[in-house]
């Protein structure tokens, strides 16, 4: 994983503007990305997963299929 810190910071800022947070966990050759919603978040404001994967691929330097992406709605 070759993280582009600027890109990652930009993504975090974008998420925070919609009251979302992001946690990363590296597990072998995969990266688990968990998005959590704050109290002011609207579910519709979070970009569809394919867009998020594209952003994460660029920011983390890993193939899109190596990203395990968890959205708040996945827990329900």
Contact call for residue 50 and other proteins (CB under 8 A): yes
Binding mask 7-46 toward other proteins (x if CB under 8 A, else -) reads x--xx-xxx-xx-----------------------x-xxx
Contact call for residue 51 and other proteins (CB under 8 A): yes
Question: From the CB of residue 28, how many other CB atoms can be counted at a distance below 10 Å?
Answer: 6
Q: What angle do CA 70, 75, 76 make, to 5 degrees?
A: 140
Distance CA 14, CA 8 (A): 10
Q: Where does this chain bind other proteins (CB under 8 A)?
A: 7, 10-11, 13-15, 17-18, 42, 44-48, 50-51, 54-55
């Amino acid at each position: 994983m070759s993280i582009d810190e600027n890109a990652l910071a930009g993504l975090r800022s974008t998420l925070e503007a919609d009251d979302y947070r992001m946690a990363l966990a590296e597990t072998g050759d995969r990266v688990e990305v968990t998005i959590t919603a704050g109290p002011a978040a609207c579910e519709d404001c979070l970009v569809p997963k394919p867009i998020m994967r594209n952003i994460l691929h660029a920011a983390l330097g890993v193939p899109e299929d190596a990203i395990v992406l968890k959205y708040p709605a996945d827990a329900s």
